[in-house]
Every structure is written in C-alpha cells, then in structure tokens.
C-alpha cells in the first residue's frame, strides 16, 4: 500500500474518523488480499460505521482457519456464531470466549446445568475471568442455589472492582449488597455502549418508551415551558441518543447533554440536536461545571441511581433559582419499599424523592403518575415529577 495512504489511514484511526478509515482499510485488504490481518482490521472498524463485519471476518477465517482469534471474532459477530464456537473448541478445548458462547446458548435454551458445567470449566482454566464467574453466578441463581450465587457475585466484585458485569446490581436485588453500589459507572457505561446501536428502535418500539413526551407535557402544565417563549438554558442529564433532547429542542435556546456512554453521545452528536455534549459520570461533571440552567431534565436516570441525596444536591447547585428539575422515577408497588425492582432498576417512592429534594433545596412543584415504558409487556409504574429551586436555600 502506498506510503501516503498508510499515513492517511494512521491519521484517520488516530482521530477516530472511522468513516474515513473504512475505505482505506478496504483498499489495503484488496491490495494484499492474502493477509488475514488486513481483513480482520477491516472487520474491527466496520461496526463503527454501521457496516456488517461478518464478510471480512469470514475472509480472515478462510485465510487462517486455525487462528482462534479470528474464529472468536466471527463467532461474536455472526448470528450463526455457534459454528465458529464449535470449531474453536476443537482447536482449543479450553478457549474461554468460545466456551462462554456455548454456555450462553445453553442458558438461552434453558439448559442451566449444562451452562454451569461449561462455565465451571472456564474458571478452572482461568479463575480470574470475571465474565465467566458472573454468568456462573446467574446460572447458579437460576438453579435455586441463592447463597452459592451470592458468593459467586461477591467473587466477581473482587475480580473486577469496577464491576463492569453488574454483580453489585445482582447483590442489591438479592438483599445481599448495598443499594447505593448497585450500578457502578463502569457497568452502566458497558450496558449502554452495547445498547446504543439499537437503542432508539428498541426503546421506543418494543418497550414503548414515552418519558420525553410525558415530561414535556408536565413542563407545560407547571409553566416550565411555554409555546410563546424559549427556555434560556436546558441541561439533559443521561441524554442517551437524544430522545428527550429532540422533544425539548424547540423550546430552548441552548441545550447541553450529558451521558456516561461514549457510544450514546456519538449517536446524539450525529443528530445535531445539542449545542454541547459532555461524556462522563454526571455528578463528577456537574461538580466541575460553572454553568447554571433554567431547566434540567433527567428522563429515566434515577433508575440507575441509589444515592438520590448526592445526585439531587449536585444537580441543585447547577439549577438556577426558581428553575425547574424534571425527572422520572420508577415507583414501587403499594406497600413495597423502595429498592431494586423486578426489571433490575432502582425504584423510588414520592416520599423519598421529596425528602431528598428538600435536603437539596428543592420544592415539589407538581407530579403525575403513569408509565414511561414497558417491561415484559407490562407498563412500569412511573412518577413524573417537577421540582423547583427555592430562593432561600443559598445553594
């Protein structure tokens, strides 16, 4: 490949400009078609541009059929990945990713004990594999051995203190861990980075997500938004791909979005909705911010927050006096205490929200009950709440 094209390729990759890098990688693979690494590199960039990586991976496997790495990548990308996994296990019987893939298939087929057996083999070969330990904990819980599952979830927390897998969430759900530690930033980031590609269609289609529209109606009802005027400055916390931003954009002059997931932010940026986008953990970012906002939106954010006191206190600092905070909260069933709900998310009742908000210098403006989305075909009881920042707080 000519030196100038190689330099251009390096520049594109360094800049994260995958749409520019993809044709250069394809050109390199076609110029030297017998090099499997070129096809594998092409496949690694393809998903970032919405291109199917499977054809390039199949070419890499054809050129190097005994290379476990290419088979593993193909197994992960191809819907018929079990064929690749089976060949992998012939080449390398203790290959971790392939064994995990087989275990997931067994799990999905209801063969829980087979899944446990396969995952146990992975841990014999590689005891520090947090993913396998987490999946074994899930299979063990499904098999009814709760105390043993709790021990395995705790092991995951030791293997991976950042808890990308979400063991803290499982422990909180089982009453064996603190609610405040249920969702770590690393876990939330991993979940939504993986969810970003299908987020809009799955959430609004299959789950019938309607939080942005419900919050906009609430904003109109309480006077936070009016048709004749624009809100000066709006902050969308947990902006995701921009669903709430799109609903509120016509009513604000300046719109900022914050999200923990870089993949979500990338998709929000592509829509051109926001004036400014920030990537990172929300309380950390807001503690560093100097801007104040007339309106702050937090649609389906408290579902992932156990420590409401710290969250609301941090948000209140960035909210202008007499400004409005709009948020949603999954509501526990009557007689049930706040905690982790059946869908694995935090539930907060109105009394808890009011108490934490009051400590932050926020007063309840109005609220409504409804459902912001469905889970397993059933509406999730949701509080749609508007708070205002009191003048006398000195915050």
- 247: CB partners within 8 A, 6+ apart: 212, 213, 215, 216
- Domain CATH number, residue 128: 1.25.40.10
d(CA 243, CA 237): 12
Q: What is the pLDDT of residues 180-203, one digit of tens each?
A: 889 999 999 999 988 888 888 889
Higher pLDDT, 231 or 133: 133
- Mean pLDDT within 109-134: 86
365 and 228 assigned to the same domain: yes
- Which of 52, 67, 90 is the C-terminal boundary of a domain? 90
In a domain, 183, yes or no: no
Q: Tokens for 207?
A: 């789950």
Domain of residue 100 covers 93-177
- Chain CA centroid to CA 99, Å: 25
Axis-axis angle for helices 81-91, 68-77 (nearest 10): 160
In a domain, 200, yes or no: yes
In a domain, 145, yes or no: yes
70 and 123 assigned to the same domain: no
In a domain, 187, yes or no: no
d(CA 24, CA 134): 39
104 and 86 assigned to the same domain: no
169 and 252 assigned to the same domain: no
Q: Give me the percent of the chain exceeding a pLDDT of 70.
A: 89
In a domain, 184, yes or no: no
Distances (CA, A) of 178 to 170, 174, 184, 339: 10, 10, 12, 10
Q: Is the pLDDT of residue 79 over 60?
A: no
- Domain CATH number, residue 198: 3.40.50.150
Distances (CA, A) of 311 to 127, 180, 237, 361: 37, 11, 11, 12
176 phi, psi to nearest 5 deg: -115, 10
- Which of 177, 201, 218 is the C-terminal boundary of a domain? 177
Higher pLDDT, 98 or 365: 365
Q: Is the pLDDT of residue 31 over 60?
A: yes
- Which of 129, 149, 177 is the C-terminal boundary of a domain? 177
Q: What is the pLDDT of residues 287-329, one digit of tens each?
A: 999 999 999 999 999 999 999 999 999 999 999 999 999 999 9
375 and 386 assigned to the same domain: yes
- Mean pLDDT within 217-242: 92
257 and 271 assigned to the same domain: yes
112 and 61 assigned to the same domain: no
236 and 333 assigned to the same domain: yes
What is the rounded average pLDDT for all residues in the chain?
87
66 and 197 assigned to the same domain: no
In a domain, 186, yes or no: no
237 and 307 assigned to the same domain: yes
222 and 251 assigned to the same domain: yes
- What pTM did the predictor assign? 0.75
b/e map 218-256, b = 16+ CB within 10 Å: bbeebebbeeeeebebbbbbbbbbbbbbbbbbebbebbb
Least confident of 46-55, 81-90, 137-146, 212-221: 81-90
* pLDDT-based confidence at residue 97 (cuts at 50, 70, 90): low
In a domain, 360, yes or no: yes
Question: Which residues on neighbouring strands pair with residue 71, listed in sequence order?
Answer: none
In a domain, 301, yes or no: yes
d(CA 121, CA 124): 5
- Mean pLDDT within 254-266: 96
Q: What is the pLDDT of residues 334-354, one digit of tens each?
A: 888 898 887 789 999 999 999
Confidence at residue 228, expressed as pLDDT on a 0 to 100 scale? 74
How many CB atoms within 10 Å of residue 100? 19
167 and 244 assigned to the same domain: no
């Amino acid at each position: 490949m000519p030196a100038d094209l190689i330099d251009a390729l390096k520049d594109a990759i360094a800049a994260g400009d995958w749409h520019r890098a993809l044709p250069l990688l394809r050109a390199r693979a076609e110029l030297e078609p017998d090099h499997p690494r070129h096809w594998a590199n092409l496949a690694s960039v393809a998903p970032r541009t919405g291109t199917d990586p499977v054809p390039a991976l199949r070419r890499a496997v054809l050129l190097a059929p005994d290379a476990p790495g290419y088979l593993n990548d193909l197994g992960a990308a191809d819907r018929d990945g079990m064929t690749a996994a089976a060949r992998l296990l012939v080449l390398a019987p203790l290959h971790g990713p392939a064994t995990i893939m087989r275990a997931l298939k067994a799990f999905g087929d209801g063969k829980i004990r087979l899944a446990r057996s396969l995952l146990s083999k992975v841990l014999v070969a590689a005891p520090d594999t947090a993913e396998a330990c987490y999946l074994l904990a899930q299979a063990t819980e499904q098999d009814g051995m709760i105390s043993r599952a709790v021990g395995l979830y705790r092991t995951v927390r030791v293997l991976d203190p950042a808890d990308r897998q979400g063991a803290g969430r499982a422990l909180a759900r089982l009453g064996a861990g603190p609610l405040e530690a249920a969702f770590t930033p690393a876990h939330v980031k991993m979940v939504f980075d993986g969810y970003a590609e299908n987020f809009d269609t799955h959430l609004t289609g299959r789950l019938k997500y309607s939080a942005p529209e419900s919050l906009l109606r609430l904003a109109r009802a309480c006077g936070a938004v009016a048709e004749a005027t624009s809100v000066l400055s709006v902050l969308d916390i947990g902006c995701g791909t921009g669903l709430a931003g799109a609903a509120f954009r016509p009513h604000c002059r300046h719109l900022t979005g914050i999200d923990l997931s870089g993949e979500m932010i990338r998709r929000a940026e592509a829509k051109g909705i926001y004036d400014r986008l920030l990537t990172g953990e929300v309380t950390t970012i807001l503690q560093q911010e100097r801007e104040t906002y007339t309106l702050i939106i937090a649609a389906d954010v408290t579902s992932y927050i156990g420590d409401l006191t710290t969250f609301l206190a941090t948000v209140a600092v960035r909210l202008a006096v007499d400004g409005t905070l709009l948020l949603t909260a999954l509501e526990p069933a009557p007689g049930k205490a706040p905690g982790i709900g059946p869908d694995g998310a935090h539930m907060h009742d109105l009394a808890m929200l009011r108490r934490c908000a009051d400590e932050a210098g926020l007063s309840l403006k109005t609220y409504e009950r409804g459902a912001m989305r469905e889970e397993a075909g059933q509406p999730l009881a949701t509080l749609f709440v508007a708070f205002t920042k009191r003048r006398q707080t000195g915050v």
